[in-house]
Structure 1
Amino acid sequence: MADIVNLNKARKTRAKAAAGAKAVENRAKFGRTKAEKARDEANRARIDRTLDDSKRD
């Protein structure tokens, strides 16, 4: 005989796994410290400034 599967539990387990995967993505996307954000912003500003300074009039 086949095992009896509680569909309610299976649905909840699947939803919990999807939420866990989304949480991993969000931690990678938004989980940066203030210092890391400031460093990246400063680096971006330096690159933009260098590019703007090398333009011809």
Structure 2
Amino acid sequence: MADIVNLNQARKAKAKADDKARATENRVRFGRSKAEKSLEAARAEKLRRDLDGAKRED
């Protein structure tokens, strides 16, 4: 005998699985590690300090 399947629940479960797979792909494609983010922030801060240090006084 076949199992009774609630089609509404099955549809929602499939959509949830698809969304989870898409999120995983996006994390791999667009995500950056914490080390990369902090390195970029440190470089931007150093660039800002160097630029401020090169300014002439009026």
* TM-score, normalisation: structure 2: 0.50
Structure 1: any 5+ residue segments left out of the alignment? 1-5
* Separation in 2, partners of 1:24, 1:51: 39
Instruction: Give the residue type in structure 2 aligned to 1:19.
Output: K
Match of 2:21 in 1: 20
Aligned residue pair count: 50
Match of 2:9 in 1: 8
Match of 1:47 in 2: 47
* TM-score, normalisation: structure 1: 0.50
List structure 1 runs of 4+ shifted beyond 4 angstroms: none
* Separation in 1, partners of 2:51, 2:25: 35
Structure 2: any 5+ residue segments left out of the alignment? 1-6
Alpha-carbon deviation of 1:38? Answer: 4.2
Instruction: Give the residue type in structure 2 aligned to 1:18.
Output: D
Query: How much is the aligned-residue C-alpha RMSD, in angstroms?
Result: 2.5
